[in-house]
Chain A
Amino acid sequence: MKLIFALFLFLTISSASVVDEYLNTLTKEAKIENPSFSGFDLKRGEEIFTSKHIGKKGKEVSCVSCHGEDFSKTSKNFFTAKEIEPLSPKANPKRFSEVKTIEKWLRRNFNDVYNREGTTQEKGDVVTYIINK
């Protein structure tokens, strides 16, 4: 029992550290890109996530179109109707557990919604919003 608890603790800590480390890396990059960088902002992240844009497919979409408004619930892919597991790392421990996966989906999803990749600032803002919501 103790062992299971220790393992659980280890897993939560290690997954927390993946996203923290990712945000640290983004912070370093952002400081190089912009000397007056003043940190990532949840409110800006919310705007990035919820605002609608004419995306890559020529349809008006936002991040909400696929991930929904409640990150602790499963949602439906706007284009394919396939279920998407909850985005919140609190509800879904697989989220934000691997930098390669985070980067892959941010690259794809910014392209889908904004028709371009996200900037370092934008990626940091939106991740800060998702993990704190």
Chain B
Amino acid sequence: MKSLILLAALASVVLASSYDKKGVAAATDKLYVKECGACHFAYQPGLLPSNAWQKMMSNLENHFGSDASLAKEDFDSISKYLNKNSAEKFMNYKRSARIVNSLRVGEVADSISKTPYMIEKHKDIREDFIIQEEVKGIFNCTACHTTAQKGIYSEKDILIPNFGRWED
């Protein structure tokens, strides 16, 4: 009995000081994955807060210099999905929480890779690994993070093209 109480106490300490979930929640909506995964992999909604998704969705005709516009019914459905699953609503996921907490109050992010948390995490990577043909930019998460599709971005799962595993 005593050890059970001890265990419970320990568990609550662990829970309070960390996130109960690693990574970021997987993208599950079929329409979202099809439409927003046509030109790059479908970024998990938990990688940005809802105000950033709204800003991005409001200008799909000029989406990073490309036309990604949608039919009205698809636009509405995808906007709703992003808003329901955005980072600030999933703070129990480590990456969502880190991204949200790195933004200044009132700051609306233009992309995932330009959030302070992402800039900090990627600042030590050699430029030529990033701009090479197989990667093209930090936006291309799946090029280096082999488990990005599942929402897992751990260091042990990184494999940079023409370089190899990442070790500190």
Could you list which residues of chain A lie within 8 angstroms of chain B, going by C-beta atoms? Answer: 56-58, 77, 79-82, 100, 104, 107-109, 111-112
Q: List 5 A-B contacts (CB under 8 A).
A: A56-B62, A79-B39, A82-B40, A108-B67, A108-B69
Nearest A residue to B70 via CB reads: A104
Tell me how many residues of B have a C-beta within 8 Å of chain A.
19
Give the distance in Å from the alpha carbon of A77 to the alpha carbon of B40 in the complex.
9
Q: A80-B136, A80-B139, A81-B143 are in contact. Are A107 and B67 (CB under 8 A)?
A: yes
Whether B66 and A56, one on each chain, are in contact in the complex, defined by CB atoms closer than 8 angstroms, is yes
A81–B136 CB distance below 8 A = yes
CB distance from B36 to the nearest CB of A (A): 12
Whether the Cβ atoms of A81 and B134 lie closer than 8 Å is: yes
Query: CA–CA, A82 to B41, complex, Å?
Result: 8
**B140 and A81 contact, CB distance less than 8 A:** yes
User: Contact at B71–A100, with CB atoms within 8 Å?
Assistant: yes
In the complex, residue of chain B having the shortest beta-carbon distance to the beta carbon of A108: B67
Contact call A79/B66, Cβ cutoff below 8 A: yes
Cβ of B134 and Cβ of A112 under 8 Å apart?
Answer: no
